[in-house]
C-alpha cells in the first residue's frame, strides 16, 4: 500500500504547462510523493526554475522544452522522458492559454486557431504521443485540465474559443476513458474555477465586455472563500488523488474544483 507521503513512488509523470500555476504546483507535489517528473513547457527559464525547485527538495525532475501544439517537438520530449526514466505512468495534459477574448465577429481566424492549437490540438498531441508508453507500462492515468468554462458556465464574455476547447477536452476524456479502459488507462478531466496563477499573462481581452451578459454577485463569485480565488496547490491535490491508486476505479469523470463558483449560474 502507498504510504501517506509516497502515493506515486516508482511512477514517472509527464506534466505539460509545468512552468507555472497548476502544472508547476502539481509537478512539485507529484515529486514530493515520489514520482519522477517530466517538467514540460515552452519557456526555458520557467522549466529550469521548476526543475531546480523539485531537485532542491530532493525530488527527481527532467526539464523538457516543447510547444504542445508542435507534434515533432512533443514526440521528441516524450521520447526523451521515457528513455531517461525507462517508463511512463501518468500524463497530465495541462498546458493552456486563455487567448484572445473578443466578440465573435471581431475574433480573427488566426486568433481562434491559436487557442484551438494550444488547448485542443496540444491535448490531443500530448495523449497521442504518450499512450503507447502507458500501454507498455501495463496501464496508467491521463489527466486533462479543462475548466468550468464551457462545461458548467457559459458566461465569460468573448471566451468562445477558450470555452469550446474546454468542452471538447471533457468530451475527449470521456471518449478515451472508454477506448483505453481495456489497456487499464484511466482518463479524467479536472475543471477548475478561478485559480490564482499566471494565466492572466496569456489573456488578451478585446472589447470582451461587448460580449458579456452582465450579472453581479455582490458577495463575490466564489462562495466558499468569500470571493477569493483558489490556489494552484488546491488543484494539485486533486490531480494527486486522481493520479494515485486511491482513484483506481475512477475514469471518464470531470471533477469541478471551484469553491462553488459554477453553482451561481
Q: Which residues are catalytic?
A: 162
CA 204 to chain centre: 20
Query: According to the binding rule CB under 6 A, does residue 236 interact with ligand NAD?
Result: no
The site map against ligand NAD for 109-138 (x = CB under 6 A) is ---------x---x----------------
Q: Which of 202, 204, 253, 263 binds ligand NAD (CB under 6 A)?
A: 202
Residue among 137 and 158 whose Cβ is closer to ligand NAD: 158
Cα(21)–Cα(224) distance, integer angstroms: 21
SS3 percent helix, strand, coil of the chain, rounded to 5, is 45, 20, 35
Partners of 205 in the beta sheet?
A: 101
Query: According to the binding rule CB under 6 A, does residue 63 interact with ligand NAD?
Result: no
Phi-psi label, residue 17: left if phi above 0, alpha if psi -120 to 50, beta otherwise: left
Query: According to the binding rule CB under 6 A, does residue 20 interact with ligand NAD?
Result: yes
Strand, coil or helix: what is 101?
Answer: strand
User: Cβ-count burial of 94 within 10 angstroms (0-12 exposed, 13-18 middle, 19+ buried)?
Assistant: buried
CB of 245 to ligand NAD, least distance (A): 24
Check if the beta carbon of residue 19 is closer than 8 Å to that of residue 41.
yes
* CA-angle at 27, arms to 24 and 31, nearest 5°: 145
Query: According to the binding rule CB under 6 A, does residue 147 interact with ligand NAD?
Result: yes
Query: According to the binding rule CB under 6 A, does residue 221 interact with ligand NAD?
Result: no
Q: Measuring CA to CA, how many Å separate 112 from each of 29, 81, 102, 162? A: 33, 31, 10, 9
Q: How many chain residues are in contact with ligand NAD, going by CB under 6 A?
A: 29
Residue among 100 and 137 whose Cβ is closer to ligand NAD: 100
The site map against ligand NAD for 33-62 (x = CB under 6 A) is --------xxx--x----------------
- Judged by CB under 6 A, the chain residues 163 through 192 that form the site for ligand NAD are 192
Check if the beta carbon of residue 33 is closer than 8 Å to that of residue 246.
no
Query: According to the binding rule CB under 6 A, does residue 228 interact with ligand NAD?
Result: no
CB of 61 to ligand NAD, least distance (A): 14
Residue among 12 and 95 whose Cβ is closer to ligand NAD: 95
- In the complex, the residues that contact ligand NAD under the rule CB under 6 A are 16-17, 19-23, 41-43, 46, 67-69, 94-97, 118, 122, 145, 147, 192, 194-195, 197-199, 202
Amino acid at each position: 500500500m502507498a504510504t501517506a507521503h509516497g502515493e506515486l513512488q516508482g511512477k514517472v509523470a509527464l506534466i505539460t504547462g509545468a512552468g507555472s500555476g497548476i502544472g508547476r504546483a502539481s509537478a512539485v507535489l507529484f515529486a514530493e510523493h515520489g514520482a519522477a517528473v517530466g517538467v514540460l513547457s515552452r519557456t526555458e527559464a520557467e522549466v529550469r526554475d521548476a526543475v531546480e525547485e523539485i531537485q532542491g527538495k530532493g525530488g527527481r525532475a527532467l526539464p523538457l522544452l516543447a510547444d504542445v501544439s508542435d507534434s515533432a517537438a512533443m514526440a521528441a520530449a516524450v521520447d526523451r522522458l521515457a528513455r531517461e526514466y525507462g517508463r511512463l505512468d501518468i500524463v497530465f495534459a495541462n498546458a493552456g492559454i486563455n487567448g484572445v477574448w473578443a466578440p465573435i465577429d471581431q475574433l480573427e481566424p488566426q486568433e481562434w486557431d491559436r487557442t484551438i492549437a494550444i488547448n485542443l490540438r496540444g491535448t490531443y498531441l500530448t495523449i497521442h504521443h504518450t499512450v503507447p508508453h502507458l500501454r507498455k507500462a501495463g496501464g496508467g492515468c491521463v489527466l486533462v485540465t479543462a475548466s468550468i468554462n464551457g462545461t458548467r458556465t457559459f458566461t465569460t464574455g468573448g471566451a468562445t474559443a477558450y470555452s469550446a476547447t474546454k468542452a471538447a477536452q471533457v468530451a475527449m476524456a470521456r471518449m478515451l476513458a472508454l477506448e483505453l479502459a481495456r489497456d487499464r488507462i484511466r482518463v479524467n478531466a479536472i475543471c477548475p474555477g478561478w485559480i490564482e496563477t499566471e494565466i492572466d499573462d496569456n489573456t488578451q481581452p478585446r472589447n470582451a465586455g461587448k460580449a458579456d451578459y452582465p450579472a453581479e454577485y455582490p458577495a463575490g463569485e466564489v462562495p466558499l472563500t468569500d470571493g477569493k480565488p483558489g490556489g494552484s496547490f488546491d488543484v494539485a491535490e486533486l490531480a494527486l488523488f486522481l493520479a494515485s491508486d486511491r482513484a483506481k476505479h475512477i475514469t471518464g469523470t470531470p471533477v469541478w474544483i471551484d469553491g462553488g463558483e459554477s453553482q451561481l449560474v
